Structure 1
Amino acid sequence: MIESSPGHSRRRFLAAAAGGLLATGVAGRAGPAAASGPSAAGSSASGPSASGAEPAAWARVAVIKRRIRPPRFPRRTFPVTGHGAVGDGTTMCTDAFRQAVAACAAAGGGRVLVPAGTYLTGAIHLADNVELHLEAGATIAFSRDPADYLPVVHTRYEGVELMNYSPFIYAIDRTNVAITGSGVIDGQADATHWWDWSGDPPPSERPDKDLLARLAEEGVPVAERVFGTGHHLRPNLIQLYRCRNVLIEGVTVKDSPMWNIHPVQCTNVTVREVTVDSPHGPNNDGLDPESCVDVLIERCEFNTGDDCVAIKAGKNADGRRVNAPSANVLVDSCVMRDGNGGVTIGSETTGGVRWVFAWNCTMSSARLERAVRIKTNPERGGYVRDVYFKDITVGQAADAVVEVALNYENKSTGPYYPDVGAIDIRGLRAGRAPRAFNLIGNPANPIKGVRVTNSVFEEMAEADVVSDVTGFELRNVWVNGHRV
């Protein structure tokens, strides 16, 4: 069940002083200087009360965590090698994986074991009560032939449902599914396989993206939005769709055609100690929980070609049709390196995103564009609210440390203004970046409430951008050695 916010707390938050005066002062700051302020966790000269107590909303984290329980599986093991798989990197093992999963499910569940070796395969479809486990030294290497991901399946492409190539590891409407171990899941995408579909020269996904958007706007049933053969919409590496009780733990994933790990409309999801090493591909997001409820992401490491963690909720007309939010998402003690954003919400926000908590995360790279990022536009609609960050360390970022942009894709007008606000950041310490804040609302629809407390931005080279924001509060915030 999605919990609702106590109305009086939200009203107090949004009743903060209008952001115009604060924005004017912040945007006019001088350039870099040696930092001399307190630590991000320290108190100001006027005492701790000047920065305010931690929001009561953080008490929700323990409640959410109690609901999130990884699935457990029977002590039965089904090695893929017992069904004909050969770990030589050249023998196709698609049938062996299919048979092992079927045998495991028929027995009532257990572990499908991938021993050390490199196993070339097409799509792997999981079943109820099945744990796919990769031993140390095991690699699942996915075929580069699109035909190995047919027939088409019900999936979601950038927030819109359709029938398309199967994600490489896929499950739909399943209970108790897991991907675990210390091995590698390798999508094997590169500049001449899958990634080339993202460009303008043929083959290109652009005509198919436009077609899919038109079909969704016209309300064409999902079963009739058939892509796959002859089309160029890239599949995800791992997508678990409408599943309950999900665990992804320990594995390394790399080089997906696009998004690496994509749970959709799932409940009770744990992603723990996973490494995503996919810094080169287009749209190579690390982990995108979309329209999911009760999600724990902990002790993971991301090095990606797009957003590291991106919380989503469907897009435009199709997002309004499905109308499924993301809620109760916890991001704990993760490391973010390359990427467009460290912890991101959007741009697919149509179903709404609420109660996001991120803490004890470390983010730093010359190619990490932003640390905290919220992006949407007036075609999306939906809402983003009750978002809480604390104790975030940012070594360096290539753009703004904190960005909230309601003009994503340079669209600042439209029929569906998103409701974005109630964003609380505290204990953030950033070393070097062009600017601390890039906050861009819409003239007809401002960002409604951003509070930053007990935070330090040490070497910011440029003035902030703050426009169309109400309720922008800075409490005990230091930039370039000056309290602002």
Structure 2
Amino acid sequence: MTTPTPKILVLTPRTASIELAGTTARDRLDTPLRFVLSADGTTVTDGMLDRPVLTLENLVPDTAYTLAIETAPDLPIATPTEPAFIDITDYDASEAAENNAPAFAAAIAAAPDGATLYVPPGIWRTAPVFLKSRINLWLPEGAIVTGLADRSVYPILDAFTPDGREQASWEGVPANCYASLITAIDADHVTISGKGTLDGAGAESDWWSWPKETRDNARRPRTIFANRCTHFAMAGITVRNSPSWTIHPIDCASLTFADLRIENPPNSPNTDGLNPESSTDVEIVGVRFSVGDDCIAIKAGKIWPDGTVPAPTRNVSVRHCHMERGHGGLVIGSEMSGSVTDVTIENCTMIDTDRGLRIKTRRGRGGKVARIAMRNCLLDGVRTAFVVNAHYFCDPDGKSDAVQNRAPAPVTDKTPHIVDISFTDIEARNVHHALVYVLGLAEAPVTGLTVSDVAVSFAPEAVADVPDMALGLPAMRHAETRFENTTDPQISGITRIAAPRAGQESA
């Protein structure tokens, strides 16, 4: 048996986020472990670790630390040097100010490469803040950066830059959008860390009252938007109250999201938690979600009106996350025209989400969803645990005969393909509608599907309903597995259990 070993996920001069790698614990450890952080043999801080991730702050730059976690090997942590410590209050930021955007802009402009941009504890109201390369934004515990209710202070990002590159996006295609509270474009080595909070002010403005519309020919902002960024990381902070999608990186590479809390009201429209799109090498570790739409939605855009196919999303690892109350736990699509491949979801917990693992697409998307694996996850109170739906009724024509007809259509470059999907070593408690529901295309059946070693119980209070969003689906209650247009699915080891709700002892 492999001994869990701590490893550094995100490191700045002032903060560190650590994963207890190799543990099979889900979002919480079975037994809390004592940890001690020391420097030169002197204890700096200590405590009990009850989750597989840990964020430390108030570190000193250019210092050698040792993190000792009970039963695990010691981890040396050497904080980087800090070329400058930039406090926003030195640039006229004030809790009394109506808009601290000018202070943020001045502080960022003054920051040399590798500097720490420090936001002290307090409530800091601001219009969108634009980050640049090689900067560490530190929000310590008690620091709250909040957006403004007045959308007239939000710049509008044009869909394209003057040289023709995509600058802003809405649901998979270029579109004018309001700038986000934190916006980073063409930036590298950007870190946002600490135990503070970013508040998107969704409830304070009217953003949620026009979810599918525009104002001044622009779509709603996110809370964090990153475009064409590399080595972009977020660790430790809480992100809440988003105007639309909460965190949206697009066309990015080398992304890390560790030990975050992402919180939006359940009735807030389209407030997905974390939506990596057309991005590669993504780690999502120890993130806690409670949102108004999908917790994680992995995307690769839609074919643009001019025929451009977006870049793919590939190499995504999701570990030790807690996903609560969203429409879906881990969702792929429906924007997937550039293809989504090589995604692993392991050691996660999903509570009261409408679906657990959900793959959704439709005719006209093209692209491929391939090599997706979910394993060692607990799903409790989920309506349908595992869904594949190639007749998803999105977009204005989503309910048209061309999308919904179950007869074979001609195979073209706009036919989506779904291959090599596995759902293994799963405990699915209190399922309502179906354990597994797969609806492929007649002209492009789902292939390489594996469901194995799944323990399931069904919710006694369940009311029959459709398992996903497509026309003509039957209402289901306590269904085990249903397949349509699926080639030779490999099904084994499904067992019925009697199980309590999450947080109680197993029966």
Deviations 1:178-208 (A, max 9, x none): 111111110111286100012xxxxx60xx5
1:374 CA drift (Å)? 0.6
Unaligned ranges ≥5, structure 2: 1-78, 159-166, 394-398, 460-476, 499-507
Identify the match of residue 415 of structure 2 among 414, 417, 434. Answer: 417
The residue number in structure 1 matching 2:391 is 407
Determine the structure 2 residue equivalent to 1:125.
130
Of 470, 495, 507, which residue of structure 2 is paired with 1:478? Answer: 495
The partner residue of 1:161 within 174, 183, 195 is: 174
Provide the secondary structure at the position in 1 that maps to 2:355: coil
Percentage identity across aligned positions?
Answer: 31
**Which residue does 2:110 correspond to in 1?**
103
Give the corresponding residue for 1:270: 256
Match of 1:143 among 148, 164, 170: 148
Equivalent position of 2:430 in the other structure = 432
Q: Give the paired residue count.
A: 378
Instruction: Report if aligned partners of 1:426, 1:455 keep a CA contact under 8 Å in 2.
Output: yes
The reply on whether 1:115 has 2:120 as its aligned counterpart is yes
CA distance in 2, matches of 1:151, 1:298: 32
For each residue in 1:189-234, what CA deviation from the matched residue of structure 2 results, as whole angstroms up to 9, or x when unmatched?
Answer: 1286100012xxxxx60xx5xxxxxxxxxxxxxxxxxxxx623511
Question: Are 1:258 and 2:244 matched, yes or no?
Answer: yes
Aligned 8 A contact 1:197 1:233 in 2? no
- 1:123-272 matches, within 5 Å, as 123-153=128-158, 154-190=167-203, 193-198=206-211, 205=213, 230-272=216-258
State whether residues 295 and 330 of structure 2, in contact with CA within 8 Å, keep that contact through their aligned partners in structure 1: yes
The residue type paired with residue 451 of structure 2 is V
Q: What is the CA-CA distance between 1:431 and the residue it aligns to?
A: 0.5
RCO (CA 8 Å, sep 6+): is it higher in 1 or 2? Answer: 1
**Cα 1:125–1:191, aligned 2, differ >3 Å: closer, same or farther?**
closer
Q: Hey, what's the Cα distance between the residues in 1 that align with 2:485 and 2:285?
A: 34
Name the structure with the higher helix share.
Answer: 1
Please state whether the residue corresponding to 2:232 is helix, strand or coil.
strand
The question of 1:309 aligning with 2:307 is answered: no
Shift in Å, 1:354: 0.4
Residue by residue, what CA displacement relative to the aligned partner does 1:321-371 show, whole Å, maximum 9, x if unpaired? 143000000001100001011111111100000000010001112xx1011
Local SS of the residue matching 2:176: strand
SS for the counterpart of 2:488 is: strand
Which residue of the partner structure matches residue 478 of structure 2?
462
Pairwise CA RMSD of aligned residues?
2.0
Greater displacement, 259-268 / 406-415: 406-415
Q: Given the two structures, how large is their TM-score scaled by the length of structure 2?
A: 0.71
Q: Deviations over 1:141-193 (max 9, x none)?
A: 10122222214242111111133321221111111111111111101112861
Q: Is the 8 A contact 1:438 1:465 kept in 2?
A: yes
Residue by residue, what CA displacement relative to the aligned partner does 1:422-462 show, whole Å, maximum 9, x if unpaired?
00111100111121012111222222221011111112643
What is the rounded CA distance, in whole Å, between the counterparts of 1:385 and 1:100 in structure 2?
44
Is contact 2:139-2:196 (8 Å) kept?
yes
Cα deviation code 1:364-403 (max 9, x no counterpart): 12xx101111111112111100001110001211x21001
In the alignment, structure 1 residue 395 sits paired with structure 2 residue 380: yes
Q: Distance in 1 between matches of 2:254 and 2:148?
A: 30
CA shift at 1:72, angstroms? Answer: 6.4
SS at match of 1:256: coil
Does the CA-based 8 Å contact 2:156-2:218 persist in structure 1? no
- Letter paired with 1:272: A
Contact 1:159 1:319 in 2 (8 A): no
Q: For the Cα contact (< 8 Å) 1:160–1:319, is it kept in 2?
A: no
Cα distance in structure 1, aligned partners of 2:306 and 2:346: 29
Q: Which of the two has greater strand per residue? A: 2
Q: Residue 385 of structure 1 aligns with which residue? A: 370
Residue deviations 1:36-73 (CA, integer Å, cap 9, x gap): xxxxxxxxxxxxxxxxxxxxxxxxxxxxxxxxxxx967
CA distance in 2 between partners of 1:451 and 1:305 (Å):
30
TM-superposed CA distance for 1:476, in Å, is: 1.2
Q: Which residue of 2 aligns with 1:371?
A: 356
Amino acid at match of 2:290: N
Contact in 1 for aligned 2:262/2:290 (Cα 8 Å): yes
TM-score, normalised on structure 1?
0.75
Q: Which residues in structure 2 correspond to 1:352-371 (within 5 Å)?
A: 352-365=339-352, 368-371=353-356
Query: Among 272, 281, 284, which residue is 1:285 paired with?
Result: 272
Q: In 2, are the aligned partners of 1:274 and 1:301 still within 8 Å (CA)?
A: yes
2:91 corresponds to: 83
